[in-house]
Amino acid sequence: MTDLTRLSLKETRDGLRAKQFSSVEVTSAYLDAIDRGNESLNAYICVVGEKAHEMALESDKKLASGNGGPLEGVPLGIKDLFATKGVHTQAASHILDGFLPEYESTVTANLWNDGAIMLGKLNMDEFAMGSSNETSYFGPAVNPWKGENTDIKLVPGGSSGGSASAVSAWLCAGATATDTGGSIRQPAAFCGIVGIKPTYGRCSRWGVVAFASSLDQAGPLTRTVEDNAIMLTSMAGFDKKDSTSADVVVPDFAAAVNRGVKGMKIGIPKEYRLDGMPEEIEALWKEGIEWLREEGALVMDISLPHTKYALPAYYIVAPAEASSNLARYDGVKYGLRVAGKTIDEMYELTRAAGFGREVQRRVMIGTYVLSAGYYDAYYVRAQKVRTLIKQDFEQVFADGIDAILTPATPSAAFGIGDREMAADPVKMYLNDIFTVTVNMAGLPAIAVPAGKDKQGLPLALQLIGKPFDEETLFASARVVERSADLDLLPKAWWRR
């Protein structure tokens, strides 16, 4: 039998329906792969083998009776940011030690209702704050890819690094992730897989640990564009428990994947042509443009004039919202508690011990920009810039542009413990330079593998779409995926 873990999500789903193998068999294959590889990759921080087996048995009963759901029997990994009832949920932070929710996030509940199997909880940057998965309390996740002729371990990107690593290394058929400033798309680019940040409001935020509430959005990470479309269909939907959830119809995204781009207008923003952009990234972008042209798209230069302000504005808005959201972690009702002589001292000691360095940095920045003397100068101004960024996109789409093509990241994956990144947080933040505008405007965007750098590491392109028009993104991303025709199988060095 073919290694069941090497099948795409669609192939797994279709094989289960055709009774070519059982859910118990495919789930066992993934659990075995995790057992053999997770020690090296640190992608999972909690594996629920017994629960997965029970869910698989139930799925096999449903499949046998012909009552299986859209994802019946398909094994998935879940980012540690999603609440899973009775199962480890810590947002990769020490301050949530031992927290077992009494409720299920809406996104994961949707997946279980559609028949998916939970393999475990995936590593991430602490509270989703990071671009490399190095801020996790459980240690960094590792990218399955390595450069040619080198043994340097690379970051998988962040914050959804464990999700990207697990999908790329065949440790799950797909994984949930979240994106606040690029945390789906950057890991997808670094690990040679596909990741979409849907329109803000497309997926419910209920039961997802909050980082920046006006920016956070859940989405899938998968090995192919079609898999991504299938998984998003199950994740998405209106939720009355989330006041920011959009009451819009969820289409069959997979039906749009192969419709092509003939007649589409694709915008190329001049502001994304950065000084000092690596030649490899520039060349890849040009190649992507030609692929879309060859498939019948009309490619046009556009302007998004406020793009240059997006990154600084994001790093005001996001920490401000984080400082408010993280105020709830005080050691009183759940999680870590460090005793103190007074309640104030207990708060101080608990937060000092429970929050990692990067989380503390962002909370302090956020508290500063929200303080009485600086609120207008920083936070209010950043929100005004955010409005201008959104208006830039609205104008471009009003002029007839269907989607926008840009690079996904300024480079391929870098080494774990990279000295330059560690010494200067701003250099780490610059990894989000192509992605944060999308979150500030609430738009959908997808990262799709499109090439490799000189060391053979994956590179990706990003497509940005109109609000609630993920279908166009899947169609155009499929053109890029098919045109690139890449071998995206990293050498399995991590297997015991």
Short-list 97, 94, 121, 91, CA closest to 108: 121
Q: What is the gyration radius of the CA atoms in the chain, in angstroms?
A: 21
| Residues β-bridged to residue 406 | 462
Amino acid letter at 387? T
Token pair listed for 243: 């006041």
The active-site residue, picked from 93, 132, 168, 183, is 183
Q: Which amino acid is at 12?
A: T
What are 449's two structure tokens?
Answer: 């593998």
How many other C-beta atoms are found inside a 10 Å radius of the C-beta of residue 357?
Answer: 10
Examine residue 411 and say whether the peptide bond preceding it is cis (omega within 30 degrees of 0).
no
159 is catalytic: yes
CA distance 493 to 496: 8
Tell me the sheet residues that pair with 121.
46, 78
Q: Is residue 286 annotated as a catalytic residue, yes or no?
A: no
3-state SS assignment for residue 454? coil
Which of 273, 204, 210 is closest to 245 using CA atoms? 204
Determine which one of 22, 59, 79, 245 is catalytic: 79
Rounded distance between C-alpha atoms, residue 19 and residue 420, angstroms: 52
Amino acid at 203: C
CA distance 441 to 215: 9
Residue 441's closest CA among 490, 397, 376? 397
Active site annotation includes 79: yes
Question: What is the distance between the alpha carbons of residues 196 and 485, in angstroms, rounded to a whole number?
Answer: 19
Catalytic residue among 59, 131, 136, 159: 159
* Strand pairing report for 75-79 and 117-122: parallel
How far apart (Å, rounded) are the C-alpha atoms in residues 473 and 477?
6
Which residues are designated catalytic?
A: 79, 159, 183
